[in-house]
A and B are shown apart, each in its own frame.
Chain A
Amino acid sequence: MERIETANAEALARMFAAEPVLADVIPAREAMPGLKDRMILHAGPPIGWERMCGPMRGAVAGIIVFEGWAADLAEAERLAAAGGVEFHPNHHLDAVGPMTGMTTVSQPVMVVENRAFGNRAFCAINEGLGKVMRFGGNDAEVLDRLRWLRDTFGPALGAAIREKGGVGLKAIIARGLGMGDEMHQRNVACSGLFLREIAPSLARTCGDREALARALAFIAANDQFFLNIAMAMGKAIMDPVRGIAGSTVVTAMSRNGTDFGIRVSGTGDRWFTAPVEMPEGLYFPGFSAADANPDMGDSAIVETIGLGGFAMAAAPAVAGFVGAGAPSSAATFTRAMGEITLAQNPEWTIPAADYLGVPSGIDIRRVVETGIAPTINTGIAHREPGIGQVGAGVVKAPMACFEQAVMAIAEELGVA
């Protein structure tokens, strides 16, 4: 259909024209005017307390205590259950968050600016591995780290980024793809590249040598530090693609641990949801599928721009890590995603796969027609709050989301 092809061409053009730059780190309340006190942004499509999974509730309780809206976790849970806080998806306020994706007023958020379109997107700072809030952790250690991020690290990183005039992200991604990252389960190269870029500015702006050392060590010790930057970048790239009438391109994929949701350009801000699936993958020693929580997080925004599971060919090691098969089969995933996307990204190419461009512009029509669901690389959280990551794997976006979206587009275009 002519109208769809034209709209999709426009969608792709906007994706490829994006110029994402990490521009700042600022408190969430400054970044998002719509974010108020006693408002909690979470990962995935809209959800209330009563339907939230264990880790999500754990994170909610933790962040309430962190914000000082309750004295302890028990009181926090009562407050949440009684409707004392408002829940909204990150996506509704130009933000994204990994796993549980908690975003509240006083947290520092990284700001990625899409300089081609002037829009901004936000994501909190990655907390590192182990017991962390994004996996539902909420004890004193978790909250202390969040306070350090808020009071010390966030402001320091923001100052360094401002001093540098921003960090261009497209080039880092392009290099990372050649160094074995797919920007979802593997960010070791991009985190290192980012550290190289920011270290001189951080050294200049951070007056306290001990604080500087701790900041550098924090980035250096966290192989996934760059994930949250990549996520904000994904959001900044896809937001200008929203609302192109007739376009069948997916602008967001996201999960809240209960539902999987997608948004499609031609249907604006409507969510198409279906029950989220369990990831299939490998578990850390001592854990098994019985411990796993259903899939969670806004991080599938990186697949939406052609990274993560879509760029598996760049990261053979990840194919093994997530239990997706032999490293030599990694390219198979990328080629399969090529069947449900409109084009290859001309700038983000994968040297290991003969410079195949990452598959970009997920077309809901092709997903439904071929029955090939988008493949998402994901971390697996323990189903109990506070335990953290227990494995990594691959999860498929539920076909029902795409079927609903196809019906909606067909109605919109009067061919249902």
Chain B
Amino acid sequence: MGEAQDEAMTGAQRLLSGPVAVVNVGLEGFAAELRQNGVEAIHVDWTPPAGGDPKMAAILSKLGV
């Protein structure tokens, strides 16, 4: 597939044409299984944003985080 054509594809189309590379947020087992399947995967060591304070998380979201 040509570069120019690739540029015109949407992000969803590029996903289907692969290869899939995954950012895993949450259950760690999913990332481990993906790696066992030879899929590039990076696991996010996630904790509730803003220390679990929903008010602060909402403000941060308005500030573009």
Contact = CB atoms under 8 A, between A and B. Distances in A.
Contacts of B50: 368-369, 371
Contact of B47 (A1, A371, A407): A371
Interface residues of A, number: 20
Contacts of A407: 59
B51 interface: yes
Interface string B29-64: 000000000000000000101110000110110111
Given A369-B57, A410-B63, A413-B63, 8 more contacts: A2-B64, A248-B63, A365-B65, A370-B49, A371-B47, A399-B51, A403-B56, A415-B63
A415 B60 contact: no
A406 B62 contact: no
A2 B62 CA distance: 11
Main secondary structure of the interface of B (DSSP, over half): helix
A409 interface: yes
Contacts of B59: 406-407, 410, 415-416
A406 B62 CA distance: 11
Interface size class of B (residues with CB under 8 A): 10 to 19
Contacts of A369: 49-50, 57, 60, 65
Given A368-B56, A403-B56, A406-B56, A415 B49 contact: no
Contact of A415 (B47, B56, B62): B62
Nearest to A414: B62
Contacts of A416: 59
B51 A4 contact: no
A86 interface: no
Contacts of A415: 59, 62-63
Contacts of B62: 1, 410, 415
A406 B63 contact: yes
A96 to B, nearest CB: 29
A248 to B, nearest CB: 7
Interface in A356-379: 365-366, 368-371
Contacts of A403: 56
A406 B55 CA distance: 12
A244 to B, nearest CB: 15
Given A371-B50, A371-B51, A1 B63 contact: yes
A320 B62 CA distance: 40
Contacts of B64: 1-2, 4-5, 365
Interface of B: 47, 49-51, 56-57, 59-60, 62-65
29 contacts: A1-B63, A1-B64, A4-B63, A5-B64, A248-B63, A365-B63, A366-B65, A368-B50, A368-B56, A368-B60, A369-B49, A369-B50, A369-B60, A369-B65, A370-B49, A371-B47, A371-B49, A371-B50, A399-B51, A403-B56, A406-B56, A406-B59, A407-B59, A409-B63, A410-B59, A410-B63, A415-B62, A415-B63, A416-B59
A359 B4 CA distance: 34
B50 to A, nearest CB: 5
A413 B56 CA distance: 15
Nearest to A4: B64
Q: Which 3 A-B pairs have the closest CB atoms?
A: A1-B64, A415-B62, A365-B65
Contacts of B60: 365, 368-369, 406
A4 B65 CA distance: 10
A135 to B, nearest CB: 34
Interface string A381-416: 000000000000000000100010011011001011
B64 to A, nearest CB: 4
A59 B47 CA distance: 42
Nearest to B51: A371
Nearest to A413: B63
Nearest to A248: B63
